[in-house]
Structure 1
Amino acid sequence: MTVELAPLYTPESHHAHRDVTGGWLRPAVFGAMDGLVSNVALIAGVVGAAGAGRGAVLAGFAGLVAGACSMAAGEYTSVKSQTELMRAEIAVERRELARNPEGELAELTALYRARGLEPELAREVAAQLSADPEQALRVHVREELGVDPDDLPSPRLAAASSFAAFAAGALVPLVPFLFGASGLVVSVVLSALALFGFGAVVARMTARPWWIGGARQLGLGLAAASVTYGLGHLLGIGLG
């Protein structure tokens, strides 16, 4: 009789990670939430001051266009500046590798020793990595600057993501008025559902409980809308 023994180990199941450095997630999430919260708050303030009507719709559209353009310009400038700074520091590292390769080799050796490698092994690893100048540059940049020189954030991608996300979020509280709504209730309910849903989706993407993310975004959005509605109502009474 043949007896089959179970293997002492099972082969590793390889897994893939999601892209967390592409430069689109943060501006997209921020843009959508900013568009939704700021426009529902803006519309609530206008309705609180002057009532629902054409003024609320015009204010909502103005908020959508102005906010989307502002977000895109801000994201582009911010990410462009960050990328330019990274490139400048990469250029410094490139010049240093060309000017003082032995010093850079010693620096990389010391870094691997600090991480627990034996001195001889650390120097051997550093020497092999430093044999190719471009590979050496990538290693030094990743180790010293904490960035991937082959995957720097894209200003255009960040700007486009931010613009589209803000516009999509800002459109939500406008939809009821475009279909003839005469009050703020439907807009607030739709915005509340969108706030909770979007917060839940983002929470799931970041491996957090969906109900916590949804409730947090809902609370923040409704708080902003309540404040602007109250201020608008007070101003409307004062000017009336």
Structure 2
Amino acid sequence: MRLALALVVIVALLGACSGGSDELVAQDVLSSIPWSVPETAHYRLLHDDDPKGSGELKIAMREGALVLSQSFDIPDQKITDTIQLEADTQNLHPKVVQRTIDGPEGKRDCTATYDANNVTVEQQAKDENRRDNLTVPAQHYDSWSDLFLWRTLKLVEGEELKYVDVLSCSLTKPDLLPVVLRVKSMEEVNVPAGKFQAWRLEIRSGGRTQKAWYANNAARTLVRYDNGDLVFELESLS
């Protein structure tokens, strides 16, 4: 349990259960793909302004599929967390998610496989093996794609979007999450990579509100992200 609690701070879209009163609105929200492949973004991770670790977001192609990767290193807790998500190149609908968490209490592997309107989640750990199935709507995203998906949105101040996330490899049973995203305003953001004019988004899901800042440029780079526990700040992009 201590491992699970330590890791909750680095889940991309925090939400242990669907919770709240928001309805499930299953629809596609992607507007256009802004990135070039391959791409790697490096972040520092902060908690109350104190450095806690590092993170990396990668975009690549593999055998015709788009691969969206995240990796996190939290040295104080001796934890690494790596996630790879294969998605459709046009709409970001998920195909396969693979996650490996390694820490003081051992390694946990998770694979989520999507097939039509179903996802099968298999988790393996030292003292636990489980398999869960969940029916998903035709229009859905995996929560591990959110930091990438938000780059693709049409950002207009005051805009509100709703969609359905699948909480797949999250240390709990898979679940459907209603997501409500609002485009708030343009702000100046200072991070180690420099000064950016960025759109501030507020995202509500699983009873929590997160904030993300995306550069007002063609690439829509994520420059800052606050999930309520950790803050990501962009250090470099290649």
> Which is bigger in relative contact order (C-alpha 8 A, separation at least 6)?
1
Structure richer in strand, relative to its length = 2
Structure richer in helix, relative to its length = 1
Q: Give the TM-score normalised by structure 1.
A: 0.26
